[in-house]
Structure 1
């Protein structure tokens, strides 16, 4: 998955972002079908094959999806559009959580049933024709009348050269650690996933999936309105928004450390929503996921500023960062699949997160201040200025003609 994300820009250069998005939507249902086969008949080889197919497909999907998110919206609406994206992304989680909750509402033990998996397969198959409805960048016309800056098709060798330049650049490289850490902590991966599985019943986990998605949508929508507020200077939005989401996520990790210490000192067993003390750890899980969503949206908004609306640049940024997230997720699963104490896992993630912050600040302190970091001189700003100058020049020429007619 991680390698597929990073190499997806090369494929986008050849096929276009829409075709790669369609390819990326094909593998999800295969993996879920393999899980269904394993659930009903105990088949194991199909699960491994389905995971490989889904990983490659998801890599293409994540990179193309990220390119669309970073380049399609107008600059002054990107944070809100990211919140809308998260709403639809979490809508899948909300629907899945609702299905899981409905099919397991009377089930405090056991795993996901075949009916739940069939419902998931149907939703994932439906996503394939929906992907065909997405407009290609050449057909997009924004509400302000502007178009997307389309990149020239280049050779594969040139794409690898540009990819290496992106990886080795300071402004992107300094953000890689925090993307790695963020994915290993929230959204069902790593710490949050392991905590939920160890200490909560099936229907409690379904409820957590449902509520964490809703809280994530609310939090990112409020953040999006702030980040897109044009009455506030860009540099202020970058720094205040960053301080808010970084502090919130740090607070959630400290809360997770406290809860995990309590649970390892006095193991509560499998908690259900009827159990005493259910809300302490459950609330931590929901808020950790919501804080992770807010951090993700903030970081993607920053990347949209750095990409300056260029589809090719946005594809490389999205592919690289989603690939790094995938590897963070992989490491989280590796750690938590062992007999390593979950308390130590929290400590490791907390330390990694704190260490990643100074690196992120190297880039963030320049955003909105230095050219090439979301300040003046972006691709779209330059295009807008050129169009304005052309209109102004045309108006001046027309006025001059009228004046000459009057003189004659």
Structure 2
């Protein structure tokens, strides 16, 4: 019998099982019947079936709405530049603290999510966003820089848990052939939060053409919605309750201990060391937000126009996600072919979109916008349409980049445990890169230098990741390959009362 973390005798990778595997966690159950209980009762809207509460698409939809209300609103607030303030110095310091703790916590966040469960991880994440916004509101009436930095650091911890949980759900709940569409669905709902959140400061400041700090009402609106997201997270199901339409379950490790989870971080890298070639893409994936939000939107536009730009930026993300997500799942092409085609598309977009950005950035500097003679651009200013579309293309590009990274990670496996670790690595490196960029912006790095750093890192990280794209993406990852540790054993993935476990006997695979 295996150790306490597994109730199944391990099978060495070099051995052949005495009996062929009858059933695995992500394989359909013949003559599937849903388990008893309210979670598995059919939800019907007229003649249309919405599935059941503990189904992947219902749960992913709920997670998307949690992110809609928490990081979605945070994105809308950050998109104004400087956290809604005219001076970005405080927001820069808060974001340095945020991303520094995020970078550390996110590396281990998959471990914590695997232990504490999806619901608690997401709810704690929502609380962090709420406290962050409260600190910005209080800073409008008193000097509470210590509280502001603490709120930023706390949000880094909480957001690390939230995004590791979200990443594991989005990549492990759907079948392999559905992961692109699930990304599109999640990313679209999530960024509706950014769109609607941008309407709050737009409505509050509709007549403000100058560049001023947003009102108290704007901050209060954000924090109420963020708190609602934290409460909504408590109504989610944990991953072991999820049943897909064909009866298959999410691959999990039964009774994980802290020891096995921390070892799992190392084995994820040791078993597939080529994953480190994706790390530059992870690092770069939030690097450009600082430049776009502070150097473009925050520096060059008036308050109401910043809010409009934010709305258009997040709307472009929705459109791009809806287009690119289904393309990742095109059944006419093998997954390995789709990976290569998407690589070419992302590289081309990098050259086109950022090439246009170079032409725009040549027009102004930090000294230009700091001049007393500088007039912030309003939507009534002649020539506004050009930078408006550029900012929208930046938003669409972000969705394509993030979607491609998520899809690549999802193509490397289906195990919820493994993908939680990958999501942790992704968010950790992403946040480390963002912390560096926020510190450079705080130290008044020239806008053109910020721009060049983005373009170079994006192109360079794609080149580094190319071997993974061209040689390591498989058309299918089998259950046995997904569950096998580097010591040659196969993890036990199901509790005793799962239908698959009952049907398959001792589940010896």
Q: Which residue of 2 aligns with 1:245?
A: 346
Name the structure with the higher helix share.
1
Verify: 1:38 aligned to 2:142, yes or no. Answer: no
**Are 1:71 and 1:304, in contact at CA under 8 Å, matched by a contact in 2?**
yes
Verify: 1:184 aligned to 2:293, yes or no. Answer: no
**Are 1:174 and 1:363, in contact at CA under 8 Å, matched by a contact in 2?**
yes
Verify: 1:357 aligned to 2:449, yes or no. Answer: no
Tell me the alpha carbon deviations over residues 156-189 of structure 1, each in whole angstroms, 9 at most, x when there is no partner.
2332222123345433211110121121014xx3
* Counterpart selection for 1:314 from 416, 419, 428: 419
Q: Which residue of 1 aligns with 2:195?
A: 94
Tell me the alpha carbon deviations over residues 209-249 of structure 1, each in whole angstroms, 9 at most, x when there is no partner.
11111111111111111111222221221111221123213
**Are 2:165 and 2:420, in contact at CA under 8 Å, matched by a contact in 1?**
yes
**Are 1:63 and 1:315, in contact at CA under 8 Å, matched by a contact in 2?**
yes
**Are 1:28 and 1:124, in contact at CA under 8 Å, matched by a contact in 2?**
yes
Which structure 2 segments of 5+ residues have no match?
1-101, 484-489, 491-499, 504-509
The 5-angstrom pairing of residues 100-111 of structure 1 reads 100-109=201-210, 110-111=212-213
Verify: 1:155 aligned to 2:257, yes or no. Answer: yes
* Counterpart selection for 1:127 from 226, 229, 237: 229
Q: Distance in 2 between matches of 1:125 and 1:192?
A: 24
Evaluate the alpha carbon distance shift between residue 250 and residue 170 of structure 1 in structure 2; reply closer, same or farther with a 3 A threshold. farther
Q: Which residue of 2 aligns with 1:166?
A: 268
Q: CA deviation at 1:379?
A: 5.3
Q: Distance in 1 between matches of 2:304 and 2:230?
A: 30
Q: Which residue of 1 aligns with 2:55?
A: none
Q: Which residue of 2 aligns with 1:300?
A: 406
Q: Distance in 1 between matches of 2:480 and 2:244?
A: 16
Mean CA deviation greater in 5-14 or 58-67: 5-14
Q: Distance in 2 between matches of 1:379 and 1:214?
A: 41
**Are 2:184 and 2:326, in contact at CA under 8 Å, matched by a contact in 1?**
no
TM-score between both structures, scaled by the size of structure 1 = 0.87
Which structure 1 segments of 5+ residues have no match?
384-390, 395-408
TM-score between both structures, scaled by the size of structure 2 = 0.70
Question: RMSD between aligned alpha carbons?
Answer: 2.3
The 5-angstrom pairing of residues 267-278 of structure 1 reads 269-278=375-384
Tell me the alpha carbon deviations over residues 298-321 of structure 1, each in whole angstroms, 9 at most, x when there is no partner.
110111111x22111011000110
Q: Distance in 2 between matches of 1:244 and 1:29?
A: 37
Q: Distance in 2 between matches of 1:111 and 1:74?
A: 46
Q: Which residue of 1 aligns with 2:149?
A: 48
Q: Which residue of 2 aligns with 1:387?
A: none
Q: Which residue of 2 aligns with 1:66?
A: 167
Verify: 1:257 aligned to 2:358, yes or no. Answer: yes
Q: CA deviation at 1:380?
A: 9.3
**Are 1:192 and 1:285, in contact at CA under 8 Å, matched by a contact in 2?**
no
**Are 1:191 and 1:332, in contact at CA under 8 Å, matched by a contact in 2?**
no
Q: Report the count of equivalent residues.
A: 378
Q: Distance in 2 between matches of 1:343 and 1:316?
A: 36
Tell me the alpha carbon deviations over residues 230-288 of structure 1, each in whole angstroms, 9 at most, x when there is no partner.
22221221111221123213322222122101224976641111112212223212211
* Counterpart selection for 1:112 from 214, 223, 226: 214
Q: Distance in 2 between matches of 1:62 and 1:25?
A: 11
Q: CA deviation at 1:45?
A: 2.5
**Are 1:246 and 1:295, in contact at CA under 8 Å, matched by a contact in 2?**
no
Q: CA deviation at 1:140?
A: 0.9
**Are 1:249 and 1:295, in contact at CA under 8 Å, matched by a contact in 2?**
no
**Are 1:304 and 1:314, in contact at CA under 8 Å, matched by a contact in 2?**
yes
Mean CA deviation greater in 150-159 or 319-328: 150-159
Q: CA deviation at 1:116?
A: 0.5
Q: Distance in 2 between matches of 1:33 and 1:250?
A: 40
Q: Distance in 2 between matches of 1:165 and 1:20?
A: 23
Q: CA deviation at 1:378?
A: 4.4
Verify: 1:282 aligned to 2:388, yes or no. Answer: yes
**Are 2:138 and 2:144, in contact at CA under 8 Å, matched by a contact in 1?**
yes
Verify: 1:336 aligned to 2:441, yes or no. Answer: yes
Q: Which residue of 1 aligns with 2:247?
A: 145
Q: Distance in 1 between matches of 2:108 and 2:199?
A: 35
